[in-house]
Amino acid sequence: MMKNGQDNNDDDIKTSMSEENKLRQQETNGNPLKSEVTTMNYNNRAFIRHNIPCFSQRGILQYYRTADVLLNPPLYLHIINRLKTVIENNSPSIECLASNASRGHLYGPTVAALLQLPLICIQKANGLPGSTLQKDYSMVYSKSERLEIAYDETIKQSIDGKYVALIDDCIAAGWSILAAAQLIEQAGGIVAGCFAPFNDTRHGRLELF
């Protein structure tokens, strides 16, 4: 969808399958993406407040305030370096990074700078001026949400036909990172991998696509 006149520590990686997310991909009739979501378990929950019930709405049992890692600079630096290393090792042909709204932006810019790669910032709806590409997705406990990226000639040159690594802060149900990956492909990018430092799926590595 478009608007504005255009066509609308190292041993901590685990592997498993998510049938729920496969069904989600089928429901959206999206093209299968040959990609995985990699999450890293740092045993660092002591550094984040995660027992916040009913935020952002009733029915959510726990909310993970992952931004608390910023209160611990050594831990944050460890996460940044691990993201950089995992992306280099798993996706050596990456040409561009994308960070997902909104806490993926805590990690994406720093990792992109270390890798010396361009970064596309995916935002929530109505957060960008000018022409955008948009993607709707359903949340577990709420109505539909929307993600968008700016889409002009500069962005096209950065993403079209390029291998893209997607960064988010946390994988929970997986809907938002799936929508973000589909948005990248809608813009002409090739999703080579999705990476997040926190995992609340009890799966570790999800084969979403």
**Exposure letters 18-39 (e unless 16+ CB within 10 A, then b):** beebeebbeebebeebebbbbb
Spatial separation of the C-alpha atoms in residues 166 and 39, rounded to whole Å: 12
pLDDT of residue 152: 85
Domain residue spans of the chain: 2-206
2-206 CATH fold? Rossmann fold (3.40.50)
Count of all residues that appear for the chain in the document: 209
pLDDT of residue 81: 92
Spatial separation of the C-alpha atoms in residues 143 and 99, rounded to whole Å: 23
- Mean pLDDT on 191-196: 87
Residue 207 pLDDT > 80, yes or no? no
pTM for this structure? Answer: 0.67
pLDDT of residue 58: 58
CA-based end-to-end distance of the chain: 20
Tell me the range of 7-16, 25-34, 106-115, 199-208 where mean pLDDT is highest.
106-115
- Mean pLDDT on 64-93: 84
